[in-house]
Amino acid sequence: MVVHLPSFRSINTLFPTADFACMKMLIRYIVLFWVILASTGGLWAQEDYQWWNEKHNWDGITPWHDYLITSPAFFGPNALPVSTIKNGLIAAEAYGKLGMDVHSSVGDQTYNLYAETFLPLFSDRVGMMLSLVPLEYYQMDTTTRDLRKARGYTGEGFAVGDLNITTLIQLIEHHPKLPDVLFTMNLRTASGSKLTDARFTDGPGYSFDLSFGKDFKLKQDASWHIRPHVMFGFYVWQNQGNKYMQNDAFLYGLGFDLEYAKFILNTALGGYSGFIGNGDRPMVYRSSIRTNWESLFNMELQLQQGIRDFGYTSLRLNCITSF
């Protein structure tokens, strides 16, 4: 098929003056863009999935995504992660965070960027947090590729993650007897890519949680503080497939923060437990150390170890800036 781009002569009949030269050129580029996009789309549509059809005994009728198992055990590490285990307190000031993750498992090596920002809303007791994996690179071996029913033959590629929008409300703060209480609502959008490689679910999710925590002095000079905390909530996400349209899970976490001078050590255990039982009950252990300098930038190093239904050992390095 031969595609003829509009000539400058035909465009001149619409925009006769020289003042519209930029507009004419823009129109030509827009038309060229759509021609290239249409041609590329045609090539994508012709990709051969015969190997996948034979490997997974496709019946020729069922949509391919119904073969996927939408659970953390059968997707990439950023698709359905265990959420941040909160300590009962909202952040004291606005901040931005940029990090780099390395996830290592048998059959899947993943590297990704991580971005997060927090902004107070209306008062210091209400805030909004946005978080995103802007870019992920992954390498799966054929065993993992086939176990997850992924359709990318090489098991390798790039993906973009889901945007998470979180609202935080401080219900109780610095009460002489009661613990601090933080209520959180989180919405996960269906903005992630590469469902074909079981990297992100292409479906929304939401969660609610309450966290409780309280500070205790360990020494009279107040240089040592410990903050035990606990969290529980409810997590829902949409499934691919037609047997269960969504999965409902109990969300939990507990741990403590230890603060000394200019450093904060955190250790926590958390996860969630879905009702289907298809690898939907991940549990992870996390430990991190963060600087608490009175400066524009701070650093954080976090280690995460999967215990159940999450077969990754993960390392994250964050750079944090306060606004």
Q: Under a CB-based contact definition with an 8 Å cutoff, are residues 200 and 238 in contact? A: no
Question: For tokens 């800036």, what's the residue?
Answer: 321
The whole-chain average pLDDT of the chain stands at 87
**Residue pLDDT, tens place only, 3-60:** 444 443 444 444 444 444 444 544 554 444 444 434 434 334 446 789 999 999 999 8
CA distances from 302 to 7, 46, 281 (A): 58, 43, 22
Q: What is the mean pLDDT of residues 180-191?
A: 96
What are the residue ranges of helices labelled H in the chain?
Answer: 8-14, 21-45, 50-55, 142-147
**Residue pLDDT, tens place only, 271-311:** 999 999 999 999 999 999 999 888 889 999 999 999 999 99
- Percent of the chain's residues with pLDDT above 90: 75
**Residue pLDDT, tens place only, 187-244:** 999 999 999 999 999 999 999 999 999 999 887 766 788 999 999 999 999 998 768 8
Provide the CA 73 distance to its chain's centre, in angstroms: 16
- Residue 312, pLDDT > 90, answer yes
Q: Which long-range contacts (CB under 8 A, 24 or more apart) does 132-135 make?
A: 132/161, 132/162, 132/163, 132/164, 133/78, 133/160, 133/161, 133/162, 133/192, 134/160, 134/161, 135/159, 135/160
The β-bridge relationship of strands 180-188 and 163-172 is: antiparallel
pLDDT reported for residue 18:
40
The structure's pTM equals 0.82
pLDDT reported for residue 20:
44
Structure tokens at 154: 């090489």
Task: Report helix, strand or coil for 106.
Answer: coil
pLDDT reported for residue 30:
44
